Amino acid sequence: MLSAENLASIESEGRRLSKAAHSDPEGSVPQYPDWTLRDLASHTASIHGRTVIICRELPKERISAPRTPEGMDPIDWYDETLEEMLAALRDMDPETPCWAFGPEQKLGFWELRMVIETGVHRWDAEQAVGRNEKLTDHVVACALEEFPLMWKPHMGDLPTMEVVATDLDRTWLYGDGDPDHTIEGGASDIYLRLVSRPSPIELPTEWAKAVDGLAPPPKR
What is the fold, at CATH topology level, of the domain defined by 4-128? Four Helix Bundle (Hemerythrin (Met), subunit A) (1.20.120)
Name the residue among 45, 5, 41 with its Cα closest to residue 21.
41
Q: CA 157, CA 215: separation in Å to the nearest integer?
A: 17
pLDDT in tens, 87-96: 999 999 999 9
What would the CATH number be for the domain defined by 137-212?
Answer: 3.30.1050
In the predicted structure, residue 48 carries a pLDDT above the cut 90: yes
Q: What is the pTM of this model?
A: 0.94
| 215: confidence class by pLDDT, cuts 50, 70, 90 | low
| 102: confidence class by pLDDT, cuts 50, 70, 90 | confident
pLDDT in tens, 157-174: 999 999 999 999 999 999
Residue 179: strand, helix, or coil: coil
In the predicted structure, residue 217 carries a pLDDT above the cut 60: no
Q: Would you state the pLDDT for residue 220?
A: 46
Q: Where are the domains of the chain?
A: 4-128, 137-212
| 128: confidence class by pLDDT, cuts 50, 70, 90 | very high
- Spell out the SS3 assignment of 57-114: HCCCCCCCCCCCCCCCCHHHHHHHHHHHHHHHHHHCCCCCECCCCCCCCEHHHHHHHH
| 3: confidence class by pLDDT, cuts 50, 70, 90 | confident
The torsion angles phi and psi of 194, rounded to 5 degrees, stand at: -70, -20
The gap between the terminal CA atoms of the chain, to the nearest Å, is 34
pLDDT in tens, 179-205: 999 999 999 999 999 999 999 999 999
